[in-house]
Amino acid sequence: MGKGPFSFRRTSSRRRMKKPPHTEVEVVALLPNNAQSPNNAAAAVNNSISAMVAAGTSIKPKKKAGGAKLWMRFDKFGQSELIECDKSMIIKRASIPARDLRILGPIFSHSSNILAREKAMVVNLEFIKAIVTAEEVLLLDPLRQEVLPFVDQLRQQIPHKSLSKIQGGGQMDVQDNEMRSSTGGQWLPVPEAVEGLQCELPFEFQVLEIALEVVCTYLDSSVADLERDAYPVLDELARNVSTKNLEHVRSLKSNLTRLLARVQKVRDEIEHLLDDNEDMAHLYLTRKCIQNQQSEALLGATASNSIVSAGPHLRRFGSIRSASLVSSNYLGDHDVEDLEMLLEAYFMQLDGTRNKILSVREYIDDTEDYVNIQLDNQRNELIQLQLVLTIASFAIAVETLIAGMFGYARWKKLIGSFCCGHVNSRLYS
């Protein structure tokens, strides 16, 4: 393109300075397995960031996606990490409907729900908001002060139980191999082995047990603090009825009402589950997972049996039938005894907590009745004093009236005598 008479070319006398290359590091909060608590993990992340800054490395924090929240993933082998997930990722990972995430939101922060879905269990108990599957648990807001005891309990108990379960499984495999070799390669139902398996709770019930234990302990401690603060205030009110003491009792009563409502919600949710065996059966996620695997295995065995001879077909059919007998004894659809015993234990504990709150409320009611009796007594004394003053005033008024009447009669007599004397003096003059 040629230069025209009106064409201009912008020139710059100053050369552009090239920016020095720098390294961008995305910071993702991970919870190491050797950390005792999320606080230690956060301290480790902060130390690594400080080291990067001191080395001259620029840090670019990972942008938080819209609607993403902090979750903690904890599997049944004790591995854990902190991740940021949005609703779609959680829905896809746990296979739950979108409406279940609203239960874990701030709108239902003071509600208590334990919901069973096809592959997950939604747990919303006070401050514990989690989605539990047969393999892992997703915990919302794990760095809250109230949730930290639950995280510590998970890290302390789940790995030991999983290890014992794996060791127990290895022993059962040895026993099964011995039983299979002694019976010519065919599986037979072993009631003792089934009873041994029933002693260990599945992963989802271990998480539910820890959650109930943490919530019940928190509520018990709250009730203990309430009792420790309530009785001195009520005794002081009984000794001295004042505006300050009445305000303390009013605040105490409002706190007691809120605490009773929280305990009642958890208790009602457990009672609802205990009243419905079908809902409890849906909470057996490991059972449903094993049943799905068995059904897939049976379908695969049926397809493979169509191309083998009759002899191996009979042996394979006998082994599948015996295995199905073992699984049916151990994984009955309506066998909810383990979960029922677990829920009944914490139901009784919550019932005892509720009775403590009701006893404090009864003590408050008794104190209020006592204060009302004192006020009625003082009111009666004031009425009695007012009556005495009224009678005294009436007596004084009567005496004044009588004195006035006598004074009026005497004054009238003096006036009469004066008038008579004046008339007589006029007549004689």
pLDDT tens digits for range 257-285:
999 999 999 999 999 999 988 889 899 98
DSSP 8-state secondary structure symbol assigned to residue 25: B
Segment 26-38 shows an average pLDDT of 44
Output 339 or 1, whichever has higher pLDDT. Answer: 339
Q: Report how far Cα 28 is from the mean position of its chain's Cα atoms.
A: 28
How confident is the model over 144-167, as pLDDT tens digits?
898 999 999 999 888 766 555 555
Per-residue CA distances from 285 to 135, 252, 270 (Å): 9, 43, 18
Question: Does the pLDDT of residue 417 top 90, yes or no?
Answer: no
Element (DSSP H or E) covering residue 114: strand 112-116
The class that CATH gives domain 185-364 is mainly alpha
Residue 85 to residue 54: CA distance in whole angstroms: 31
Residue 219 to residue 350: CA distance in whole angstroms: 8
Give the 3-state secondary structure of residue 178: helix
Q: Which of 105-114, 133-142, 182-191 has the lowest mean pLDDT?
A: 182-191
Highest mean pLDDT of the ranges 26-40, 211-225, 310-324: 211-225
What confidence tier does 361 reach under pLDDT thresholds 50, 70, 90? very high
pLDDT of residue 40: 54
In terms of Cα–Cα distance, which of 76, 74, 93, 90 is closest to 31? 74
pLDDT of residue 328: 43
What confidence tier does 366 reach under pLDDT thresholds 50, 70, 90? very high
Centre a 10 Å sphere on the Cβ of residue 385 and count the other Cβ atoms it contains.
Answer: 10
Highest mean pLDDT of the ranges 15-19, 411-415, 418-422: 411-415
The residues spanned by each domain of the chain are 20-63, 68-184, 185-364
Residue 120 to residue 282: CA distance in whole angstroms: 10
Mean pLDDT computed over every residue of the chain:
74
Q: Report how far Cα 325 is from the mean position of its chain's Cα atoms.
A: 40
In terms of Cα–Cα distance, which of 58, 31, 33, 34 is closest to 45? 31
Centre a 10 Å sphere on the Cβ of residue 347 and count the other Cβ atoms it contains.
Answer: 20
Asked if 211 and 128 touch (Cβ cutoff 8 Å), the reply is yes
Segment 110-125 shows an average pLDDT of 88
Residue 36 to residue 343: CA distance in whole angstroms: 29
In terms of Cα–Cα distance, which of 255, 186, 194, 267 is closest to 227? 255
This prediction has a pTM of 0.67
3-state per-residue secondary structure call for 37-99 = CHHHHHHHHHHHHHHHHHCCCCECCCCCCCCCEEEEEEECCCCEEEEEECHHHHHHHHCCCCH
Pick the CATH number of 68-184 from 3.30.310, 2.40.128, 1.10.287, 1.10.10: 2.40.128
Per-residue CA distances from 311 to 305, 308, 317, 318 (Å): 11, 8, 10, 11
Q: Do domains 68-184 and 185-364 have the same CATH topology?
A: no
